[in-house]
Chains A and B, each alone.
Chain A
């Protein structure tokens, strides 16, 4: 592996890795509303970084779940007008089938697949000469969308290294999409629940009643002021006559109301009750609930009737709305696949459908032993926690819980459940009488979270951002050839000299070869040094703080994954230094990764890494990497920068020596010390003149 060739594409790769780490960090915990903007921004940044002409983001249409269409199009150069809602089934049927089968689809106009005639025509129409489309799915699930990158001017080939990078980008988008859809569903159902709760509260508000007293013989009726007020009148505005009521009945209700009254009076028993509309002073009708009771003479004939009126217009409206919102709620519950139940005393479960039975793997319609079944199937690692919470709900203290736990479904295997319990009623001893609960299967969302974590692990391979690592191993490989030869030759000479008679002629040959290999090893070392110095010409003015910020972006994923708290303390107004940005970045990345390795044994919460900049006593810039790890044993300090000296099980022992060579080539030096409170600090000190080459 040639070291120079290795360095050739390093800068573009680092740029891409930074972009990838950036995108991944940005999409984690992004609110759903901001997702669309970030997707477009991501498309733009990838296109700019890799010089694509356009990028399309495809998704299933919300209103037509069978139509796959473009939702985000990045096309700065313009082009032939795209249809409003392009349908992949019509325009790119072959590609769509490939995507549905989970395949990434490369397309080159020069070499189109024979089965892709329609697709080819569409690409021609939109002036695309080369395209790569990647399916988006979370955890290998159903196709959620697709991300394509296209070239219009030049032919873009799709080597596997490029495809692999773009797949990582696509994976970030796919995870974001999966989270967005599950967030949205959850929010819709929450909103529907809230609406219906408010309306219930409204309905419960009491209103005072208006009273009436009717003397049947005279047909005189006393109406209380409140009765009249209900219809918008002052006390003196309405005559106390039966007709006052009768005339104000809604034409549609009139017949029914009078008939009800007549039939009650014919055989007055218990209470009269009627719901009807009465005309308000403003001309609109109000819904009124009338209740009354007749008193009779000795013969049982009704002589008078008294009662109350209640305005139930609000309730009627609420009822209508409630019916509507209940329907909405039901569909939200359906959409979010929520399983609802009510639990009464003695483990009596009330459910509306069999969804909870499906979710918990019960026998359809099962009534008994639900709680025991549930407890038995909770994942053993989560069971104690859930039993404890459940106990606290039952015996007081906790009125509302929301938990997520793993559940071993008898048929489907392990799933993730989110479970809300709300206590409705307790008895005087504080024991639970009634609770309602909601369960939801959140396995897909959890899967997406796990995928995101795994993705971050993929992204975090430190080796991908350290060319130093690669340089080190390339260098180690080269230098080991002469070293190996020298060792084998020396041992062969040893055997030949012990032989009887000793083979002196061959031993002399061997000594000559050993000398030659020693020179070769020296040349390799010179070449590395020369390579590091050769880049002197590329020195540019640098700000140490920018350098630290670049490094933080490269390692933030790694730090999050290793649960290391990464902190920067940047001094303002630092003197500039001159140097090779990539080389110095590599030195810092190497120091940071060493520091994180040193904290692997330290408990989580005590892993602190500080990147610090400061002005040195002599007026130069200083960058320090301080960790809270195990520190460096005193006897190892002097050997730290020796080649092939490593304290790591798989270390090559070349990182620090090369780092030192780079820093010294910048006229700087590296200092090491143990911190008084534990851990170690590595300082890179640059001279005040900004590191003029020697």
Chain B
């Protein structure tokens, strides 16, 4: 089974322009999904696979900037780039501040559009890789038993085996045995690596480790 490839979601209320842009992106080898309004895009549900969104700013009803805001709330937000008839400065600033990859004005050259799409897809792939790594690390962490998590917390807090043993009311030899198992389960032999992991998973700071 192969993973689904990236999809470019194009939203434009001008049907002719929508069709032309989709055609160009397809001719350049991309998978494309076209929407005639922000509402139809949202109604289709949040896209789960990789990709990016190409939005028009001025649309009746929900406009491009509002759609960008709505998309940003998703768990894995798609990178957004704008393609618009009238790029006024306030709208551009707002879009870029909200994290838009690019802001192109119509008529946009094919080369510029394809380059902006390439960058957006690159950014999306990077985000997804990072999310996936994090997911794997979390899965490993979650194989630890309750006691092993307690010992892990002591280790990343910089406490010695002796101190951890005293904290938990167990003997030092047991702590050592737990540590050996933690190293195997996490695939992480160094204390520095464990601290990094704890930070990446945001353990022990804002919320208690999930059980």
A: residues with CB less than 8 A from B are 473, 476-478, 480-489, 491-492, 494-496, 499, 506, 510, 513, 516-517, 520, 650
Contact of A506 with B108 at beta-carbon distance under 8 Å, contacts A476-B86, A480-B86 already known: no
Contact A481 B86 (CB under 8 A): no
How far is A496 from B88 in the complex, measured between Cα atoms in Å?
34
When A and B form their complex, what is the total count of cross-chain residue pairs whose Cβ atoms lie within 8 Å? 82
**Distance between A518 CB and nearest chain B CB, rounded to angstroms:** 11
Q: Is chain A's binding surface mostly helix, strand, loop or mixed?
A: helix
User: Could you tell me if A480 and B23 are in contact, using CB atoms closer than 8 angstroms?
Assistant: no
Q: Once the chains bind, are A484 and B108 in contact (CB under 8 Å)?
A: yes
> Which of A473, A489, A491, A494 is close to B86, meaning CB atoms less than 8 Å apart?
A473
- List 13 additional A-B contacts (Cβ < 8 Å) besides A487-B20, A492-B23, A513-B20: A480-B107, A481-B14, A484-B17, A484-B20, A484-B108, A488-B21, A488-B24, A488-B107, A488-B108, A488-B110, A492-B24, A495-B27, A496-B27
Chain B residues with Cβ below 8 Å from A495 are 24, 27-28, 110
Provide a sorted-by-A list of 15 A–B residue pairs whose CB atoms are within 8 angstroms: A473-B88, A477-B58, A480-B107, A483-B107, A484-B107, A484-B108, A485-B21, A487-B107, A488-B108, A489-B23, A491-B110, A492-B23, A495-B24, A496-B27, A510-B23
- Report how far A180 CA is from B110 CA in the complex, Å: 62
* Cβ–Cβ < 8 Å partners of A516 in chain B: 16
**Chain A residues within an 8 Å CB radius of B85:** 476-478, 480-481, 484
State A517–B106 Cα separation when bound (angstroms): 14
- Nearest CB of B to A645, in Å: 16
Listed from nearest, the 6 A-B pairs whose CB atoms lie closest are A484-B106, A491-B110, A488-B20, A484-B107, A495-B27, A492-B24
Q: How far is the CA of A483 from the CA of B26 in the complex (A)?
A: 20
Residues of the A chain whose Cβ atoms lie less than 8 Å from the Cβ of B107: 480, 483-484, 486-488
Across the interface, do A488 and B86 meet the contact criterion of CB distance under 8 Å? no
Chain B hits for A517, CB < 8 A? 16, 20
- The complex places the Cα of A481 from the Cα of B108 at a distance, in Å, of 10
Cβ A491 vs Cβ B17 within 8 A:
no
Cross-chain contact A485 with B14 (CB below 8 angstroms): yes
Contacting pair A481 B17 (CB below 8 A): yes
- Chain A hits for B16, CB < 8 A: 481-482, 485, 513, 516-517, 520
* Residue B19 lies at the interface, judged by CB distance under 8 Å to chain A: yes
Contact A488 B17 (CB under 8 A): yes
CB-based nearest B residue for A474: B86
B109 at the interface (CB under 8 A from A): yes
- In the complex, the answer to whether A477 meets B86 with C-beta atoms within 8 Å is yes
Interfacial chain A residues near B110, Cβ < 8 Å: 487-488, 491-492, 494-495
Given contacts A481-B14, A484-B85, contact A513 B108 (CB under 8 A): no
How distant is B73 from chain A, measured CB to nearest CB, in Å?
27
Contact in complex: A492, B20 (CB < 8 Å) = yes
**B17 / chain A contacts, CB cutoff of 8 Å:** 481-482, 484-485, 488
What residues of A have a CB within 8 angstroms of the CB of B83 in the complex? 484
Bound complex: CA A486 to CA B86 (Å): 17
Closest to B23 in A: A492
Known A-B contacts A480-B85, A483-B107; the reply to A491 vs B24 at CB < 8 A is yes
**From residue B119, how far is it (CB to closest CB) to chain A in Å?**
18
Inside 8 A of B20's CB, which chain A residues have their CB? 484-489, 492, 510, 513, 517
Which chain A residues border B23 with CB–CB below 8 Å?
488-489, 492, 506, 510
Please give me the residue from chain B that is nearest to A1 by CB atom: B58
Q: In the assembled complex, how far is the CB of residue A126 from the closest CB belonging to chain B, in whole angstroms?
A: 42
Instruction: Provide the residues of chain B in CB contact with A520, threshold 8 Å.
Output: 16
Task: Give the chain A neighbours of B14 by CB distance below 8 A.
Answer: 481, 485
Q: Which residue of B lies closest to A514 (CB)?
A: B20
B72-95 toward A: CB 8 Å interface, digit per residue (1/0)? 000000000001011011000000
A383 to B21, CA, bound (A): 62
Closest A residue to B104 by CB, please name it.
A484
Contact string, B113-150, partner A, CB cutoff 8 A, digits 1/0?
A: 10000000000000000000000000000000000000
Residues of B within 8 A of A484 (CB): 17, 20-21, 83, 85, 106-108
Residues in chain A near residue B28, CB distance under 8 A: 495
Across-interface contacts of A494 in B (CB, < 8 A): 110
Q: Chain B residues near A488 (CB, 8 Å)?
A: 17, 20-21, 23-24, 107-108, 110, 113
Known: A476-B86, A513-B20. A487 touches B27 (CB 8 A): no
Q: Chain B nearest CB: distance from A115 CB in Å?
A: 34
A481 proximity list for chain B (CB < 8 A): 14, 16-17, 85, 106
Q: Please give me the residue from chain A that is nearest to B28 by CB atom.
A: A495
Give Cα A481 to B88, complex, Å. 16
Find chain B residues with CB under 8 A from A650 CB: 89
A492-B27 contact given A476-B86, A485-B19, CB 8 Å threshold:
yes
Residue of A nearest to B18 (CB): A485
Q: Give min CB distance, A648 to chain B, whole Å.
A: 14
Chain A residues whose C-beta falls within 8 Å of the C-beta of B58 in the assembled complex: 477
In the complex, what distance in Å separates the CA atom of A484 from the CA atom of B13?
A: 13
User: Most B CB atoms within 10 A — which of A476, A491, A494, A520?
Assistant: A491
Q: How far is the CA of A483 from the CA of B20 in the complex (A)?
A: 11
Once bound together, how far apart are the Cα atoms of A483 and B85, in whole Å? 10
Identity of the chain A residue whose Cβ is nearest the Cβ of B13 in the assembled complex = A481
Known: A477-B58, A492-B24, A492-B27. A513 touches B19 (CB 8 A): yes
CA–CA, A480 to B109, complex, Å? Answer: 13
Can you name the residue of chain B whose Cβ is closest to the Cβ of A495? Answer: B27
